[in-house]
Amino acid sequence: MEDDFVYFRSVEGRAVPRFGTDVFIGCVKTKDGFVFSNEPVAVPKSEERRYRREYNNAVRRGDLVSSPGLDAQAADGAEQ
């Protein structure tokens, strides 16, 4: 079965919005700044297609990590 998601992980110190929303990928904004998580975040493929240029630019700049390895890591976490 094909996964309907693309997985991204934030890079510490580099807050990237989930394009088209008011939330961030892998971090939360607090009054004192951002708190980052190392967990992969599932983004629906339809959303990734709509904002492909923005996500590709964030990955190219080193602000996000995206890879097939994150897909498997997230799937393993879901089974636990």
Chain centroid, CA 36 distance in Å:
12
For residues 37 and 26, the answer to whether their CB atoms sit within 8 Å is yes
Tell me the pTM. 0.77
Ordered by start, the domain boundaries in the chain are 5-79
Residues 22-48 have pLDDT tens digits of 999 999 999 999 999 989 999 999 999
Written as one string, the DSSP assignment of 11-78 is BTTB--B-TTSSSBSSEEEETTEEEE--S-EEEEHHHHHHTHHHHHHHHHHTSEEE-HHHHHHHHHHH
Question: Cα–Cα distance between 59 and 79 in angstroms, integer?
Answer: 27
Residue type, 68: P
- What is the pLDDT of the chain when averaged over all its residues? 85
Q: With 60 as the cut, is the pLDDT of residue 70 above it?
A: no
Residue type, 64: L
